[in-house]
Amino acid sequence: MQRTDAELIRRSREADGDAFAELVRRYEKRVFGIVYRMLDDYAEATDITQETFIKTYTHLDQFDDERPFMPWLATIALNLARNSLASIWAKRQALDDDLSSNTDEFTCLEVLDEVQSVLSHLTPEQREVIVLRHISDLTYEAIAEATGEKVSTVKSRLFEARQRIKLLRIHEEAKL
Amino acid sequence: MMCLSDDELQMLADNALDKKDRTRALSHIKSCAHCQEQYTQIQSVFTFLESEPAVNLPAGFADAVAACAVGKYPPLADTRLNISVAQPVPTNQVRTKRMQNRIKDIAIAAVVAITLSILLNWLSSNSLGTAVDALGYDLDTMDIPFAYAMLLFTLTIGVFVIDAFMYRRFNKLNIHGRDRK
Ligand SMILES: [Zn+2]
């Protein structure tokens, strides 16, 4: 019989490693999805996913059992991914400065899948609402809570982002 | 009825319309080719965005992360997954474990030492007493081994209690690990 999230969380609080592993298995794909779709970097996304679950574990006492688990998890993942994104950007900036003075070198960027390459045309804020809606399946209200924005802002950002994606895909298809 | 706005269509796809609006929107879509086309396009964006990434987490990720979290194993950097560890095992847990191991070692050493000394004492007193006096032991000389035996018994019980306590602590922290796979 499948155990409920609440039960697994309760057992994890008592340091039951098997229960926590089960909980991780249940959510790892979605957490990895959020982080990977935001960062475009496999190694970094794996690290951040791991960090998210470790942080979750150490803060389980602060989680309210009455609420669904995914929004809370997504908030932790999002904050870690935001921090990581900031340092990735700083690194890329430094690399760009470096490259402009030495044109012989080139960088080996990770090959992006179709979704990644479309998402790369969005602003980081649009990207956040898209991944939280489509990968963690959060409601507008939960996304607002996770991002610290108003529900109306989340909605307009999400709708704009999808419009842009729709156009980008039409554009991509036209190129083929 | 008027055609649905793009926002309304997106909310419909997000399952965010209330029941009344939802029913109304769905029945309009059925009768309006334009809105149907728009809605299909939105749904295709959804399918596209929800497609899984080509890459995934390494196998055994959940177990490795959980083991790291509960401190069952040393930091993950040492495991075959070779995932760098974000947060090491809390040092107070490590310290508690180390201290408990030390107490256990001392207790075991004490028991072994006392047992050996009693055995040696007993053997030597027997051989020194020789066969002539073997049956002539009075209660006064019998008292010494008896006292040793009582001491040994008490210590054994003590060690059992300490061991049981530590076993429970280890299981609770999940760093005992020996009887787990
Ligand atoms: Zn219409």
Q: What per-residue confidence (pLDDT) applies to A20?
A: 95
Mean pLDDT value across residues B26-48: 95
CA of B25 to the centre of ligand 1 (A): 9
- The candidate with the shortest Cα–Cα distance to B175, out of B97, B101, B100, B99, is B97
Q: Say which of A15, A29, A158 has its CB closest to residue B172.
A: A15
Tokens standing for residue A131: 């991944």
For residue B54, which amino acid is it?
A
Q: Report whether pLDDT(B162) > 50.
A: yes
Contact criterion met (CB < 8 Å) for A162 and B45: yes
CA distance B36 to B180: 58
CATH number assigned to the domain comprising residue A67: 1.10.1740.10
Q: Say which of B42, B54, B69 has its CB closest to residue A54.
A: B69
- DSSP state string for B76-127: GGGSTT-PPPSSPPPHHHHHHHHHHHHHHHHHHHHHHHHHHHHHHHHHHHHH
CA of B1 to the centre of ligand 1 (A): 8
Contact criterion met (CB < 8 Å) for B65 and A21: yes
Q: What per-residue confidence (pLDDT) applies to B86?
A: 41
pTM above 0.80, yes or no: no
Q: What are the C-alpha distances in Å from B165 to residues A86, B152, B158, B159, B169?
A: 48, 20, 11, 10, 6
CA of B8 to the centre of ligand 1 (A): 11
Q: Say which of A20, A42, A134 has its CB closest to residue B66.
A: A20
Contact criterion met (CB < 8 Å) for B69 and A166: no
CA of A141 to the centre of ligand 1 (A): 28
Tell me which chain A residue has its CA closest to the CA of residue B90. Answer: A58
Tokens standing for residue A18: 């098997």
Number of domains in chain A: 1
pLDDT, tens only, A148-162: 999 999 999 999 999
What is the domain extent for residue A10?
5-175
Q: Report whether pLDDT(B179) > 50.
A: no
